[in-house]
Structure 1
Amino acid sequence: MPPGLSAPLGCDAVGLPARHGFRTMAHLSRPGCVFADPDWWWWIVPAESDHGLVWPQPARYVPGLYVPATRPRLIHSPEGSSPYTPPIPLYLMACRIADTVPAWSTVPHQGS
Protein backbone atom coordinates (compact mmCIF):
# COMPACT_ATOMS: atom_id res chain seq x y z
CA MET A 1 0.00 0.00 0.00
CA PRO A 2 1.35 3.45 -0.81
CA PRO A 3 2.42 5.52 2.20
CA GLY A 4 -0.15 7.87 3.66
CA LEU A 5 -3.16 5.69 2.87
CA SER A 6 -5.32 4.20 5.61
CA ALA A 7 -7.18 0.89 5.19
CA PRO A 8 -9.33 0.54 8.33
CA LEU A 9 -11.79 -1.83 6.60
CA GLY A 10 -9.12 -4.33 5.55
CA CYS A 11 -8.34 -5.00 1.92
CA ASP A 12 -9.25 -7.47 -0.78
CA ALA A 13 -8.45 -7.27 -4.48
CA VAL A 14 -10.55 -7.62 -7.62
CA GLY A 15 -8.74 -8.44 -10.85
CA LEU A 16 -9.80 -8.05 -14.45
CA PRO A 17 -7.81 -8.96 -17.54
CA ALA A 18 -5.67 -6.02 -18.67
CA ARG A 19 -7.60 -5.67 -21.94
CA HIS A 20 -10.55 -4.38 -19.83
CA GLY A 21 -8.49 -2.07 -17.61
CA PHE A 22 -8.83 1.28 -19.36
CA ARG A 23 -12.54 0.75 -20.08
CA THR A 24 -13.21 -0.11 -16.44
CA MET A 25 -11.25 2.90 -15.14
CA ALA A 26 -13.17 5.20 -17.47
CA HIS A 27 -16.48 4.12 -15.91
CA LEU A 28 -15.48 4.41 -12.24
CA SER A 29 -15.99 7.80 -10.64
CA ARG A 30 -13.68 7.22 -7.64
CA PRO A 31 -11.14 4.48 -8.29
CA GLY A 32 -8.80 3.72 -5.41
CA CYS A 33 -5.43 2.02 -5.69
CA VAL A 34 -5.04 0.09 -8.91
CA PHE A 35 -2.12 -2.24 -9.52
CA ALA A 36 -1.24 -3.86 -12.83
CA ASP A 37 1.03 -6.26 -14.58
CA PRO A 38 0.93 -7.02 -18.32
CA ASP A 39 -1.97 -9.47 -17.91
CA TRP A 40 -4.18 -8.18 -15.07
CA TRP A 41 -5.36 -4.96 -13.42
CA TRP A 42 -6.17 -5.16 -9.69
CA TRP A 43 -8.49 -2.82 -7.77
CA ILE A 44 -8.28 -2.63 -3.98
CA VAL A 45 -11.69 -2.95 -2.31
CA PRO A 46 -12.77 -3.18 1.35
CA ALA A 47 -12.48 -6.66 2.89
CA GLU A 48 -15.50 -8.92 2.34
CA SER A 49 -16.68 -7.02 -0.73
CA ASP A 50 -17.59 -10.41 -2.11
CA HIS A 51 -20.33 -10.89 0.49
CA GLY A 52 -23.66 -11.23 -1.28
CA LEU A 53 -22.09 -10.87 -4.73
CA VAL A 54 -21.22 -13.47 -7.30
CA TRP A 55 -18.26 -11.91 -9.16
CA PRO A 56 -18.53 -13.08 -12.77
CA GLN A 57 -15.75 -14.55 -14.88
CA PRO A 58 -13.33 -13.20 -16.01
CA ALA A 59 -13.17 -11.18 -12.75
CA ARG A 60 -11.10 -12.68 -9.94
CA TYR A 61 -11.81 -11.86 -6.30
CA VAL A 62 -8.89 -12.38 -3.93
CA PRO A 63 -9.28 -11.96 -0.16
CA GLY A 64 -6.51 -10.20 1.74
CA LEU A 65 -4.09 -7.61 0.47
CA TYR A 66 -2.40 -10.13 -1.78
CA VAL A 67 -2.38 -9.11 -5.45
CA PRO A 68 -1.55 -12.30 -7.38
CA ALA A 69 0.36 -10.56 -10.13
CA THR A 70 3.85 -10.79 -11.53
CA ARG A 71 5.68 -7.69 -10.34
CA PRO A 72 2.58 -5.52 -10.02
CA ARG A 73 3.06 -1.77 -10.17
CA LEU A 74 0.82 0.94 -8.84
CA ILE A 75 -0.80 2.61 -11.86
CA HIS A 76 -3.40 4.71 -10.06
CA SER A 77 -3.44 6.36 -6.64
CA PRO A 78 -6.67 7.67 -5.15
CA GLU A 79 -7.29 11.38 -4.69
CA GLY A 80 -8.00 11.00 -0.95
CA SER A 81 -6.47 8.97 1.84
CA SER A 82 -8.52 5.80 1.23
CA PRO A 83 -7.13 3.04 -1.02
CA TYR A 84 -10.56 1.64 -1.86
CA THR A 85 -12.48 1.49 -5.10
CA PRO A 86 -16.21 1.34 -4.28
CA PRO A 87 -17.06 -2.34 -4.87
CA ILE A 88 -20.60 -2.01 -6.26
CA PRO A 89 -19.70 0.14 -9.31
CA LEU A 90 -16.71 -2.16 -9.93
CA TYR A 91 -18.99 -5.21 -9.64
CA LEU A 92 -21.46 -3.71 -12.12
CA MET A 93 -18.60 -3.05 -14.57
CA ALA A 94 -17.41 -6.66 -14.15
CA CYS A 95 -20.96 -7.84 -14.96
CA ARG A 96 -21.06 -5.59 -18.03
CA ILE A 97 -17.72 -6.98 -19.23
CA ALA A 98 -18.94 -10.54 -18.62
CA ASP A 99 -22.24 -9.74 -20.37
CA THR A 100 -24.14 -11.12 -17.39
CA VAL A 101 -26.91 -9.92 -15.10
CA PRO A 102 -25.79 -8.95 -11.59
CA ALA A 103 -26.52 -11.72 -9.07
CA TRP A 104 -27.32 -10.67 -5.51
CA SER A 105 -27.32 -13.22 -2.71
CA THR A 106 -30.23 -13.29 -0.27
CA VAL A 107 -28.20 -15.03 2.42
CA PRO A 108 -27.94 -12.70 5.45
CA HIS A 109 -24.50 -11.69 6.63
CA GLN A 110 -23.39 -13.48 9.81
CA GLY A 111 -23.79 -11.14 12.75
CA SER A 112 -26.72 -9.34 11.09
Structure 2
Amino acid sequence: MATLLSARGRRVPGPVRHSDPDGEVRLALPPSLPAALGCDAVGVPARYGFRLLSRLPGNGCVFADTDWWWWIVPAGSDADLRWPLPSCYAADAYVPDRRPRLIHQPDTTSPYTPPIPLYLMICQLTGVAPAWSVPGVGTPL
Protein backbone atom coordinates (compact mmCIF):
# COMPACT_ATOMS: atom_id res chain seq x y z
CA MET A 1 0.00 0.00 0.00
CA ALA A 2 2.81 2.41 0.82
CA THR A 3 4.29 1.99 -2.64
CA LEU A 4 0.97 2.97 -4.21
CA LEU A 5 0.72 6.12 -2.15
CA SER A 6 4.32 7.11 -2.92
CA ALA A 7 3.55 7.32 -6.64
CA ARG A 8 1.61 10.58 -6.24
CA GLY A 9 4.02 13.02 -7.88
CA ARG A 10 5.21 10.96 -10.84
CA ARG A 11 4.40 11.90 -14.42
CA VAL A 12 5.26 9.68 -17.34
CA PRO A 13 4.30 11.04 -20.77
CA GLY A 14 2.16 8.97 -23.07
CA PRO A 15 0.52 5.58 -22.67
CA VAL A 16 3.62 3.48 -22.03
CA ARG A 17 4.12 0.53 -19.74
CA HIS A 18 6.83 1.77 -17.42
CA SER A 19 8.41 -0.14 -14.56
CA ASP A 20 10.25 1.59 -11.77
CA PRO A 21 12.65 0.44 -9.06
CA ASP A 22 9.88 0.42 -6.42
CA GLY A 23 8.26 -2.59 -8.11
CA GLU A 24 5.47 -0.57 -9.66
CA VAL A 25 4.27 -0.41 -13.24
CA ARG A 26 2.24 2.24 -15.01
CA LEU A 27 -0.82 0.77 -16.71
CA ALA A 28 -0.51 1.18 -20.48
CA LEU A 29 -3.58 2.36 -22.33
CA PRO A 30 -4.21 1.26 -25.91
CA PRO A 31 -2.88 3.90 -28.35
CA SER A 32 -6.38 4.35 -29.79
CA LEU A 33 -7.66 5.63 -26.40
CA PRO A 34 -5.92 8.90 -25.53
CA ALA A 35 -6.02 9.98 -21.90
CA ALA A 36 -6.54 13.70 -22.44
CA LEU A 37 -7.53 14.18 -18.78
CA GLY A 38 -4.53 12.28 -17.44
CA CYS A 39 -5.16 8.98 -15.78
CA ASP A 40 -5.24 7.44 -12.37
CA ALA A 41 -6.48 3.99 -11.41
CA VAL A 42 -8.80 2.63 -8.76
CA GLY A 43 -8.14 -0.91 -7.66
CA VAL A 44 -10.23 -3.43 -5.81
CA PRO A 45 -9.46 -6.96 -4.68
CA ALA A 46 -10.20 -9.46 -7.44
CA ARG A 47 -13.17 -10.88 -5.52
CA TYR A 48 -15.10 -7.68 -6.40
CA GLY A 49 -13.96 -7.48 -10.04
CA PHE A 50 -16.69 -9.30 -11.94
CA ARG A 51 -19.47 -7.74 -9.85
CA LEU A 52 -18.20 -4.22 -10.55
CA LEU A 53 -17.60 -4.87 -14.23
CA SER A 54 -21.10 -6.25 -14.74
CA ARG A 55 -22.96 -3.63 -12.67
CA LEU A 56 -21.35 -0.35 -13.68
CA PRO A 57 -23.26 1.67 -16.29
CA GLY A 58 -20.04 2.31 -18.22
CA ASN A 59 -16.60 0.82 -17.99
CA GLY A 60 -13.43 2.27 -19.40
CA CYS A 61 -10.21 0.33 -19.53
CA VAL A 62 -9.97 -2.35 -16.86
CA PHE A 63 -6.77 -4.16 -15.97
CA ALA A 64 -6.39 -7.23 -13.79
CA ASP A 65 -3.82 -9.46 -12.22
CA THR A 66 -4.42 -12.43 -9.94
CA ASP A 67 -5.13 -10.27 -6.87
CA TRP A 68 -6.44 -6.87 -8.06
CA TRP A 69 -8.62 -5.31 -10.74
CA TRP A 70 -7.89 -1.70 -11.79
CA TRP A 71 -10.28 0.81 -13.41
CA ILE A 72 -8.84 3.80 -15.28
CA VAL A 73 -10.33 7.10 -14.09
CA PRO A 74 -9.49 10.72 -14.93
CA ALA A 75 -6.56 12.18 -12.99
CA GLY A 76 -7.65 13.79 -9.75
CA SER A 77 -10.65 11.54 -9.19
CA ASP A 78 -9.59 11.33 -5.56
CA ALA A 79 -10.30 15.03 -4.95
CA ASP A 80 -12.75 15.37 -2.07
CA LEU A 81 -13.41 11.60 -2.04
CA ARG A 82 -12.31 8.99 0.44
CA TRP A 83 -12.16 5.73 -1.51
CA PRO A 84 -13.20 3.02 0.97
CA LEU A 85 -10.95 0.18 2.03
CA PRO A 86 -10.11 -2.27 0.66
CA SER A 87 -10.05 -0.23 -2.56
CA CYS A 88 -6.86 1.57 -3.48
CA TYR A 89 -6.35 4.79 -5.43
CA ALA A 90 -3.25 4.81 -7.65
CA ALA A 91 -2.13 8.23 -8.89
CA ASP A 92 -0.78 8.25 -12.45
CA ALA A 93 -1.99 4.63 -12.75
CA TYR A 94 1.11 3.25 -11.03
CA VAL A 95 0.21 -0.12 -9.53
CA PRO A 96 2.21 -3.01 -8.02
CA ASP A 97 3.98 -4.90 -10.78
CA ARG A 98 2.09 -8.19 -10.69
CA ARG A 99 1.85 -8.24 -14.47
CA PRO A 100 -1.57 -6.58 -14.84
CA ARG A 101 -3.15 -7.02 -18.24
CA LEU A 102 -5.94 -5.23 -20.06
CA ILE A 103 -9.10 -7.32 -19.69
CA HIS A 104 -11.72 -4.81 -20.83
CA GLN A 105 -11.49 -2.14 -23.49
CA PRO A 106 -14.45 0.24 -23.93
CA ASP A 107 -16.43 0.54 -27.13
CA THR A 108 -16.13 4.34 -26.90
CA THR A 109 -13.17 6.62 -27.59
CA SER A 110 -12.61 7.28 -23.88
CA PRO A 111 -10.46 5.08 -21.63
CA TYR A 112 -12.23 6.27 -18.49
CA THR A 113 -14.73 4.72 -16.13
CA PRO A 114 -16.91 7.47 -14.63
CA PRO A 115 -15.48 7.84 -11.10
CA ILE A 116 -18.67 8.70 -9.18
CA PRO A 117 -20.64 5.56 -10.21
CA LEU A 118 -17.48 3.51 -9.56
CA TYR A 119 -17.09 5.10 -6.13
CA LEU A 120 -20.74 4.52 -5.20
CA MET A 121 -20.62 0.90 -6.37
CA ILE A 122 -17.44 0.22 -4.39
CA CYS A 123 -19.09 1.75 -1.33
CA GLN A 124 -22.11 -0.49 -1.82
CA LEU A 125 -20.03 -3.65 -2.29
CA THR A 126 -17.85 -2.93 0.74
CA GLY A 127 -20.71 -1.82 2.99
CA VAL A 128 -19.23 1.65 3.52
CA ALA A 129 -21.40 4.77 3.47
CA PRO A 130 -20.30 7.23 0.77
CA ALA A 131 -18.46 10.26 2.19
CA TRP A 132 -17.01 13.25 0.44
CA SER A 133 -16.41 16.82 1.40
CA VAL A 134 -17.89 19.81 -0.35
CA PRO A 135 -15.49 22.77 -0.45
CA GLY A 136 -16.73 25.66 1.65
CA VAL A 137 -19.50 23.70 3.39
CA GLY A 138 -19.04 23.41 7.15
CA THR A 139 -15.74 25.27 7.17
CA PRO A 140 -15.36 28.20 9.56
CA LEU A 141 -15.12 31.67 8.03
Scaled by the length of structure 1, the TM-score of the pair is 0.92
Q: Deviations over 1:30-80 (max 9, x none)?
A: 100000000000000000001111100010001103232400010000111
Aligned match of 1:71: 99
Runs of 4+ in 1 over 4 A off after TM superposition: none
Mapped pair 1:50 → 2:78: yes
Percent identity, aligned pairs only, is: 62
Aligned match of 1:37: 65
What RMSD over aligned residues (CA atoms) do the two structures have, in Å?
A: 1.1
Which secondary structure does the structure 2 equivalent of 1:6 belong to?
coil
Q: How many residues align?
A: 108
Distance 1:49 1:34 in 2: 16
Q: Which has the larger radius of gyration?
A: 2
Unaligned stretches of 5+ residues in structure 1: none
More RCO (CA 8 Å, sep 6+) = 1
Scaled by the length of structure 2, the TM-score of the pair is 0.73
Unaligned stretches of 5+ residues in structure 2: 1-28, 137-141
Mapped pair 1:25 → 2:53: yes
